[in-house]
Structure 1
């Protein structure tokens, strides 16, 4: 695998593409007065550089094809789903709170508080894609393991999203807690699937580059921390028990992240 210094120009080309996506989304957010547009394009900021990295690698190996298909499928599906889900709902409540805390001149501040930050995070998360496409080791068992883990993660996230969408379409479910399908075993199957996906891509990067690619573990680690502690589970559930009392019981019996059998409700003797 080429050393980090030789990969830096290609990585910077990926960053340039991410910057263009982020800048365009920021301009659109000014017009729409909706910073949460960034959520719709977040996955494309991560997946987009795969095209740049693949073009530079000029490889048609099974590994390169698998990585490119997986990453682009993940990015396009998630962008399309979030766009569909959020269409017509205006700015997300979380971003409204950020906007309120950073007045006046939030329109300018959002450029670095939201868009530049997500641009850098997306660049870091895309690192295993670069390593996987640039590596030159023979395709082997670790590649297969990575592809399987990534595919399981992709399906877990996609199925979880589809189940939630179907649940919300049913008027009789209004006010109820989604606790069926994959949501019976984890409160956030979509987040678990997303983390699995990037751990899988990292395994492929490791297969491609060996020890030289170990540093790209920053990607799945960062994604897992974000999903658990920052913009995912922690942010969504910080006050949900107060807003939705039925969710407290769901929390008591269901794992937050890693799927597991529902816990039985304790009864007094």
Structure 2
């Protein structure tokens, strides 16, 4: 039993017992030796650029979709995100968009019946009041800011709407601008006016009123910019109203001469300059809602429309008097007459 054969059998049995796994026993950790990293030389890096991370890589797959290592969110992404959220159903701006579209669709139907597209100008200012009213009633932002913006928009819009309505009723024929468009598209003018005239104005209203729509959803407290914004808005409304009244009186007098007195001595379009100031003032008030700097799209679009769109120089320079007035008078910003 204790000879060499017995020792060999005992050793083999002990080896088999050590090879059998025992319940509860932990497997000894295995150490994997990593190969040393390969460092590229500068010449190799120039010849073979490093592979960019792919979507399937672990470090890329686990990142949030909008996150990037070491890169902050870009402002354009924030702007697009807010613009997209404004169109979501149930939000105040979505209801405002529906209200504006319904309003312009109804006014278009009236224009087809009376064959006069000029009525759309009457509802230009009132459509902004509608937007401000809808967001003031449906938004959940700061109450004081919402109603302040509604009041400012209502004073501006109701005055402008009343002035344009009175001018529309005084004219027996269609505005020459729209009459020329009707002559160019006699067969399908109704559909053309719906898309080009009424649709364009509806989109412009929603863009210009962006400061009001965004600010109505903010809980930010009213800041110091409010005072400066209200002053700028008040000056703009006063200049616009005074210029419109001076123009109305000049037209009612039957005088065919150039209106170059009062505010019209310093600008060929002082009413439109006041209009732009009013909307830059509204934007400054809305800016008190933090993070809404990008809503300057609104007053910028309004200023562009006034200067390059409806604010184009409408003075006929066929006469020497008209030509002299155009040469010495600023087109938009009130300035001292040129010699």
**Fold match (TM-score > 0.5):** yes
CA drift of 1:132 comes to 2.7
The equivalent of 1:160 in structure 2 is 243
- Secondary structure, aligned partner of 1:256: coil
Partners of 1:183 and 1:86 in 2: CA distance: 22
Q: Which has the larger radius of gyration?
A: 2
* C-alpha separation in 2, matches of 1:7 and 1:109: 28
Mapped pair 1:246 → 2:329: no
CA deviation after TM superposition for structure 1 residue 160, in Å: 0.8
- DSSP-derived class of the 1:159 partner: helix
Where is the helix percentage greater, Structure 1 or Structure 2?
A: 1
Corresponding residue of 1:259: 334
Distance of 1:196 and 1:99 partners within structure 2: 33
2:310 corresponding residue in structure 1:
231
With structure 2 as the length reference, what TM-score do the two structures score? 0.71
Distance 1:65 1:11 in 2: 16
Cα distance in 2 between the residues matched to 1:180 and 1:63: 38
Quote how far apart the aligned CAs of 1:229 are. Answer: 0.7
Q: SS where residue 259 of structure 2 aligns?
A: coil
Aligned pairs, how many? 254
Q: Which residue of 2 aligns with 1:38?
A: 120
Could you tell me whether the CA contact under 8 Å between 2:142 and 2:218 is conserved in 1?
Answer: no
CA contact (8 A) 1:63 1:132 kept: yes
CA distance in 1, matches of 2:92, 2:309: 29
Unmatched runs of 5 consecutive residues or more in structure 2: 1-80
* Cα drift, residue 136 of structure 1: 2.0
Aligned to 1:267: none
* Distance in 2 (alpha carbons) for counterparts of 1:145 and 1:186: 24
Contact kept, 8 Å, 1:36 with 1:95, in 2: the verdict is: yes
Structure number with higher relative contact order (C-alpha < 8 Å, ≥ 6 residues apart): 1
Let me know the Cα RMSD of the aligned residues.
Answer: 1.7
Q: How far apart in 1 are the matches of 2:179 and 2:333?
A: 30
Deviation at 1:185, TM superposition (A): 1.1
